[in-house]
Amino acid sequence: MTNTNQIGLEKKDMTQVIEKLNGLLSTYHVFYLNVRGYHWNVKGEHFFSLHEKFEELYTELQLQIDEIAERILTLGGTPFHAYSDFTQHASLKENKNVFEGRACVEGVVNGLQTLIEEQRDVSSVAEEAEDQGTADLVDEYVQTQEKHIWMYNAFLG
């Protein structure tokens, strides 16, 4: 039996990376559902622009969820795939019954800030384990999400 996974990284070093990625995957799922709710339920004078922006965001999140799950598999782990796991391991809580545009955008900003903080932690753990692929993946997400925060905060004034 080999001590490395299919991409040549030490299996023992990947345990914490996989655990952190599963936590991140959980947070992404909760945030994704929050954004879907904002998209469906937003009301008010900015409905048309926010409805469209929320759809763009949840579509992006859906792709990232898939990439994170596939990274976990690449490292030799099993991605969480039950909502009970997601709610237990996510760093973000569900945000139900939000309808007003400003409150929806505030929820988006809060969710993005939570993702960024968690991804920086994942990146640090991955770099310590010499897993540059995982670090690069989440670092790319952070760059995009920082720009999203700036744009959503511009909307909030």
Instruction: State the pLDDT at residue 1.
Output: 66
- Per-residue tokens: 75: 């490292």
Cβ(27)–Cβ(118) below 8 Å: yes
Domain 12-156 has CATH 2.130.10.10: no
Instruction: Dig out the tokens for 51 from the structure.
Output: 């409805």
What DSSP character marks residue 129? T
Q: Report the C-alpha gap between 43 and 98 in whole angstroms.
A: 9
- Kindly give the confidence (pLDDT) of every residue in the chain, 157 residues in length, as a single tens digit, with 9 standing for 90 and above: 689 899 999 899 899 999 999 999 999 999 999 999 999 999 999 999 999 999 999 999 999 999 999 999 999 999 999 999 999 999 999 999 999 999 999 999 999 999 999 999 999 999 999 999 999 999 999 999 999 999 999 999 9
- Cα–Cα distance for residue pair 141/153, rounded to 1 Å: 18
pTM (two decimals): 0.96
What is residue 2's predicted lDDT score, i.e. its pLDDT? 81
pLDDT of res. 81: 98
Neighbouring residues of 54: CB distance < 8 A, sequence distance ≥ 6 = 35, 36, 38, 39, 42, 104, 108
